[in-house]
């Protein structure tokens, strides 16, 4: 006998979890599509050189790699960005630009499994490639907004910034050559203490006056007009810094025109994003009720997606939904359903002699768009109803031989345990309409 | 520069292909759910012993395997059945039986890439575990029927048989000890010539008279009543053989009661299925217009899913949609759409000064459920419409500054190139209603 177990850092998804994840993937797909983003897919395995070409020491270490049957060095994708860069280098000429794609797929990282991190998880990315248009930036923010709203999150905030603003401030402080270090330190604000960040900045050789200005920038508050005015003064005469402030203003105006509620999108000068390749806007999104969860949807603009694989410059902008983090957050907030079935109606199997009649009833309900589970064994009714209640069915339909003879049925609301009698006189249309209206009025 | 390329046997899915696949996955999900099957997922990587426990020499050879960072021997799943068996051994006590699940996921096999076979492909399985009820068998056939119908296949046939019938015939011919060899040979009928199958059977030591009876069985034709009567006579006094014939009759009666059109489900005594573990009904499904494609959805009943991992007997029944084979078939039949976008309306970006107005229009259309691509660059209208037509958008909406001033819009049917003018008087509701009705009447 082989012990049934999963690898460390890997997990099964049981129906309740799988249903919750499918729902969010479905919403993401619908929202991405509603803006014209088209799906693509790439292989789980790639040539190792494709994956390591851009890798840091850390991703290299985390990579699942091996030699395949044909002696090729291969690896399992650790994100969707590197495969997308390779994909664009190969196909962008035939696809044309601007190219808008989404990609929802599994990635693998052999990383430390502490703090609820898994070695297998899904990413849901969308990007617009081959245009520097600020409208694509704005649309990225709108997609993130519509996505979080469509998922049903009532309180969230999208925090945006622009790398050019950060660059402008750094330039005006004479810190352009230490940009990466300084931004990494600033990015820790909110996670580390203010003093720790201050000490780190001083450690990077930033003079006290500049540290104050940096912290002042990161902590600008008040109305959006105040924040933008503060940034404008801090970037001083840096041309790209001023362009960044103007871009942030344009996004705030744009989301307002598109009907986004006030306060959902804010400029946060402390947002820097870790990755080096962002060059324009950057964004992060937070659940207001669980800010410590970290950003659940992040992204930004970059100058060159695929420089390792093609000479063609491919600027782009996009973001990625962290679906596993989001699900963990929704669970922590008690907002995940425990329902284990995708079906609405549980049809009790009462009497084997009426099998053909049950099949007719189930088919008619399905044809009307209702999902129906017909219990496959004519066990005791109470036992079947217990199963239905445990799995979270909203309703059960009980029809025995007496009911079939009389043309009636019991509709049982499994939440309230209340039953109502449906008189359908043997007419399936009447039964279907009655069940549908009972489902709605539940 | 790193050459952008995919591994042999692996491929990218560009938007047109990815959209076609997503549509079929979506339909499969809806149909499985409509019968109460719930989703699950398992890891792509498993302990090697889990995967090889049941493996034949062939699957062993095809397995992608390696040693992970922690020194564990691991492998990538090569089907969804083995992980499901492991899953059930671990979780069935908490899930309860009967347990109905679907699983749509990628599997990997390092097999020969000739004949359009890929090393990475998707499987879409559904199974009912923990019941021997014939109603679950019947439901399996109904799910396959509803699935193929919902995909939009007009002409298909589901061919069913029962392993007990085959067993009964073999027993009555004194061939019970050579069942596997004989069934493997019979399974080649239709692929190999009749004479080749005959020679193979004789090679297995089957006497001439028995060969004739086996071929007579496999080639029984006429009405379903005739076929069943022929089988009844061939199984003679084998009790399980008679039970198999009765089960086939019950399925034919059941699918008729559920409203399945005559001829969609037929008994085909030549269907044996290669896998050894089937013990009851077996089924295969074919496109009538492309029978050489082979079965696109196959399955059957088995006595014991997870015997390698648990002492608990888990009988079940299920089937698997071969989505890649189906897509290849639909392509060969010219039934795959070449559309590269999931959106319906292409909103031309005409005049940068009206950006806020375009955003309002796009938001209003999306709020009404329409998917809208707003071109991010205010390029020439003709150029934008060319992009829209190439990608397969059904319609474009052209609104310039004159139109915004007059409260009008041009609705362009991109298939016919005909334009109509919409008078919306600056009222977004009027515009949305007009676009919707134009989309419907296209």
- CB-CB: which of B39, B72, B357 is closest to A18? B39
CA distance B34 to chain A (A): 4
- Tell if the CB–CB gap between A342 and B35 is shorter than 8 Å: no
Domains of chain A in start order, with CATH, are 15-332 (3.30.930.10), 345-441 (3.40.50.800)
Q: Which chain B residue lies closest to A94 (C-alpha atoms)?
A: B14
Which residues have C-beta within 8 Å of that of residue B69, sequence separation ≥ 6? A110
What Å distances lie between residue B382 and A24, B131, B226, B348, CA to CA?
38, 62, 65, 10
CB interface of A with B, residues 392-431, below 8 Å: none
Predicted pLDDT of residue A191: 80
The answer to whether residue A114 neighbours chain B at the CB level (below 8 Å) is no
Token digits for A350? Answer: 């009462």
Kindly state the percentage of chain A with pLDDT values over 70. Answer: 98
Predicted pLDDT of residue B137: 98
Closest CA to A45 of A64, A70, A59, A60: A64
Q: Is there a contact between A285 and A62 (Cβ–Cβ < 8 Å)?
A: no
- CB-CB: which of B12, B94, B374 is closest to A40? B12
- CB-CB: which of B4, B34, B360 is closest to A310? B4
Q: What is the pLDDT of residues A75-124, one digit of tens each?
A: 999 999 999 999 999 999 999 999 999 999 999 999 887 766 899 999 99
The 3-state DSSP class for residue B383 equals helix
The answer to whether residue A49 neighbours chain B at the CB level (below 8 Å) is yes
Q: What is the DSSP letter of A306?
A: -
What Å distances lie between residue A290 and A261, A338, B183, CA to CA?
20, 21, 61
Q: Is there a contact between B412 and B419 (Cβ–Cβ < 8 Å)?
A: yes
Chain A positions in Cβ-Cβ contact with residue B375 (cut-off 8 Å): 98
- CB-CB: which of B7, B72, B390 is closest to A7? B72
Which residues have C-beta within 8 Å of that of residue B244, sequence separation ≥ 6? B162, B163, B164, B165, B166, B167, B168, B231, B235, B280
Cis check: omega of the bond before B15, within 30 degrees of 0: no
Chain A positions in Cβ-Cβ contact with residue B95 (cut-off 8 Å): 14-15, 340
Residues facing B188 on adjacent strands: none
Encode A163-180: b = buried (16+ Cβ within 10 Å), e = exposed. Answer: bbbbbbbbbbbebeebbe
CA distance A168 to chain B (A): 26
CA distance B291 to chain A (A): 28
CB interface of B with A, residues 247-266, below 8 Å: 253-254, 257-259
Phi, psi of A72 (to 5 degrees): -85, 140
- Tell if the CB–CB gap between A36 and B309 is shorter than 8 Å: no
- Tell if the CB–CB gap between B33 and A135 is shorter than 8 Å: no
Chain B positions in Cβ-Cβ contact with residue A53 (cut-off 8 Å): 2
Q: Which chain B residue lies closest to A74 (C-alpha atoms)?
A: B7
Please list the alpha-helical segments (H only) found in B97-207. Answer: 134-151, 163-172, 179-186, 194-203
Phi, psi of B203 (to 5 degrees): -60, -30
- CB-CB: which of A15, A36, A87 is closest to B341? A36
CB interface of B with A, residues 333-392, below 8 Å: 340-343, 346, 349, 355-357, 359-360, 362-363, 366, 370-377, 387, 390
Predicted pLDDT of residue B59: 72
* Spans in chain B with pLDDT lower than 70: 54-58, 115-116, 274-275, 441-442
- Tell if the CB–CB gap between B37 and A74 is shorter than 8 Å: no
The 3-state DSSP class for residue B84 equals helix
- Tell if the CB–CB gap between A309 and B72 is shorter than 8 Å: no
Distance, in Å, from the CA atom of B59 to the CA atom of B110, rounded to the nearest integer, reads: 9
How far the first Cα of chain A sits from its last, in Å, is 48
pLDDT reading at A382 higher than 80: yes
Q: Which chain A residue lies closest to B48 (C-alpha atoms)?
A: A7
Which residues have C-beta within 8 Å of that of residue A406, sequence separation ≥ 6? none
Closest CA to A437 of A424, A425, A426: A424
- Tell if the CB–CB gap between B342 and A39 is shorter than 8 Å: yes
Work out the pLDDT band at A189, boundaries 50, 70, 90.
confident
Distance, in Å, from the CA atom of A281 to the CA atom of A38, rounded to the nearest integer, reads: 23
- Tell if the CB–CB gap between A13 and B363 is shorter than 8 Å: no
Q: What is the pLDDT of residues A290-329, one digit of tens each?
A: 998 999 999 999 999 999 999 999 999 999 999 999 999 9
Chain A positions in Cβ-Cβ contact with residue B353 (cut-off 8 Å): none
Q: What is the pLDDT of residues B267-300, one digit of tens each?
A: 999 888 866 789 999 999 999 999 989 999 999 9
CA distance A412 to chain B (A): 18
What Å distances lie between residue B109 and A150, B66, B78, CA to CA?
38, 14, 6
The answer to whether residue A33 neighbours chain B at the CB level (below 8 Å) is yes
- Tell if the CB–CB gap between A19 and B3 is shorter than 8 Å: no
- CB-CB: which of A44, A306, A357 is closest to B120? A44
Q: What is the mean pLDDT of chain A?
A: 94
Instruction: Supply the pTM of this predicted model.
Output: 0.95
Predicted pLDDT of residue A272: 82
Closest CA to A7 of B69, B95, B108, B40: B69
- The ipTM value here is 0.94
- Tell if the CB–CB gap between A90 and B309 is shorter than 8 Å: no
pLDDT reading at A275 higher than 90: no
Encode B224-261: b = buried (16+ Cβ within 10 Å), e = exposed. Answer: eeebbebbbebbeebebbbbbbbbbbbbbebbebbebe
The 3-state DSSP class for residue A208 equals helix
Please list the alpha-helical segments (H only) found in A290-395. Answer: 323-332, 355-367, 381-391
- CB-CB: which of B14, B40, B64 is closest to A15? B40
Mean pLDDT of A66-72: 94
CA distance A278 to chain B (A): 20
Phi, psi of B108 (to 5 degrees): -130, 135
Distance, in Å, from the CA atom of A154 to the CA atom of A288, rounded to the nearest integer, reads: 9
Chain A positions in Cβ-Cβ contact with residue B3 (cut-off 8 Å): 309
Chain A positions in Cβ-Cβ contact with residue B146 (cut-off 8 Å): 366
Interface test with A, best of B80, B342, B344 (most A CBs within 10 A): B342
Torsion of CA A236, A242, A244, A250, to 10 degrees: 130
Residues facing A265 on adjacent strands: A158
Residue A426 backbone zone (phi > 0: left; psi -120 to 50: alpha; other: beta): left
Q: Is there a contact between A271 and A284 (Cβ–Cβ < 8 Å)?
A: yes
Closest CA to A217 of A267, A292, A158: A267
Entry field: residues in chain B:
442
Q: Which chain B residue lies closest to A53 (C-alpha atoms)?
A: B2
């Amino acid at each position: 006998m082989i012990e049934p177990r999963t690898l460390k850092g890997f997990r099964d998804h049981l129906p309740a979890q799988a249903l919750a994840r499918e729902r969010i993937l479905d919403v993401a797909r619908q929202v991405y599509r509603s803006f014209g983003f088209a799906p693509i897919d790439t292989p789980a395995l790639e040539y190792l050189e494709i994956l390591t070409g851009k890798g840091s020491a850390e991703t290299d270490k985390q990579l699942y790699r091996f030699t395949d049957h044909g002696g090729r060095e291969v690896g399992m994708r650790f994100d969707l960005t590197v495969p997308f860069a390779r994909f664009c280098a190969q196909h962008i000429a035939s696809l044309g630009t601007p190219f808008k794609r989404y990609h929802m797929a599994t990635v693998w990282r052999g990383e430390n499994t502490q703090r609820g991190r898994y070695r297998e998880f899904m990413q849901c990315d969308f990007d617009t490639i081959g245009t520097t248009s600020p409208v694509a930036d704005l649309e990225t923010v709108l997609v993130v907004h519509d996505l979080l709203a469509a998922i049903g999150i009532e309180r969230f905030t999208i925090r945006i910034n622009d790398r050019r603003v950060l660059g402008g401030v750094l330039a005006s402080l004479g810190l352009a050559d230490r940009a990466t270090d300084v931004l990494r330190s600033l990015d820790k604000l909110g996670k580390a203490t203010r003093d720790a960040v201050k000490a780190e900045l001083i450690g990077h050789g930033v003079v006290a006056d500049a540290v104050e200005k940096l912290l002042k920038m990161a902590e600008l508050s008040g109305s959006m007009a105040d924040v933008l005015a503060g940034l404008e003064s801090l970037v001083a005469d840096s041309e790209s810094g001023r362009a960044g402030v103007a871009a942030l203003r344009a996004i705030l105006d744009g989301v307002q025109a598109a009907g986004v509620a006030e306060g959902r999108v804010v400029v946060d000068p402390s947002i820097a994003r870790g990755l080096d390749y962002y060059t324009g806007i950057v964004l992060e999104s937070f659940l207001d009720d669980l800010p410590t969860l970290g950003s659940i949807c992040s992204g930004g603009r970059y100058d060159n997606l695929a420089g390792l694989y093609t000479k063609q410059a491919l600027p782009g902008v996009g973001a990625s939904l962290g679906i596993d983090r989001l699900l963990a957050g929704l669970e922590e907030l008690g907002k995940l359903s425990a329902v284990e079935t995708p079906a609405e109606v549980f049809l009790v199997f009462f009497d084997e002699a009426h099998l053909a009649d049950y099949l007719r009833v189930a088919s008619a309900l399905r044809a009307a768009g209702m999902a129906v589970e017909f219990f496959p064994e004519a066990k005791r009714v109470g036992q079947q109803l217990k199963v239905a209640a445990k799995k979270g069915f909203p309703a059960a339909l009980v029809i025995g031989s007496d009911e079939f003879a009389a043309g009636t049925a019991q509709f049982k609301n499994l939440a309230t345990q209340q039953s109502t009698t449906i008189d359908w006189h043997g007419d399936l249309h009447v039964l279907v309409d009655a069940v549908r209206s009972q489902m709605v009025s539940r």
